Amino acid sequence: MKETLNARRLLCPLPVIRTQDKVKQLQSGDELEVICTDPGVLQDIPAWCRINGHKVLETRSGEQEYIIVLEVC
């Protein structure tokens, strides 16, 4: 299953908190795409994934948006 989380306009750590809360509802193997506008997420969401044992599959930086795709482990 692939889910998307809209974390636009939120400043860190809120995108991390929303990611954390969303991941709790997902199953191992599910993918979550988080769309953010705070560039800080490029640092924080991967750090949160490392700590909690999830896998970052992809990070993309657009003009104003930063997208992180992770796999729930």
Partner 1 sequence: MNQPRKAIALISGGLDSMLAAKTVMEQGVHVEGINFFTGFCVEGHTHAIREKDKTKPKRNNALWVAEQLGIKLHIVDVIEEYKKVLLNPKHGYGANMNPCLDCKIFMVGKAKQWIAENGFDFIITGEVIGQRPMSQRKSTMPIVAKQSGADDLLLRPLCAKNLQPTLPELEGWVDREKLHDITGRSRKPQMAMAERFGINEYAQPAGGCCFLTDKNYSAKLVDLWQARNSREYELDDIMLLKVGRHIRPKPHFKLIVAREEGEGRFLEGYKREFVSLKCSSHSGPLVLVDGDPSAKDLYLAASITARYGQSRNAETVDMAINFKDGSERTIQVKPLADADFVQDWMI
Residues forming contacts to partner 1 in the complex (CB under 8 A) are 9, 11-14, 16-17, 20, 37-40, 43-44, 47-48, 50-52, 64
Q: Is 12 a catalytic residue?
A: yes
How many other CB atoms sit within 10 Å of the CB of residue 2? 10
Do 63 and 35 contact (CB within 8 A), yes or no? no
CB of 2 to partner 1, least distance (A): 24
Task: Specify the DSSP class assigned to residue 11.
Answer: P
CB of 72 to partner 1, least distance (A): 15
C-alpha dist (Å) from residue 48 to 3, 17, 25, 63, 64 = 18, 10, 16, 24, 22
CB of 41 to partner 1, least distance (A): 9
Q: Which is nearer to partner 1, 12 or 67 (CB)?
A: 12
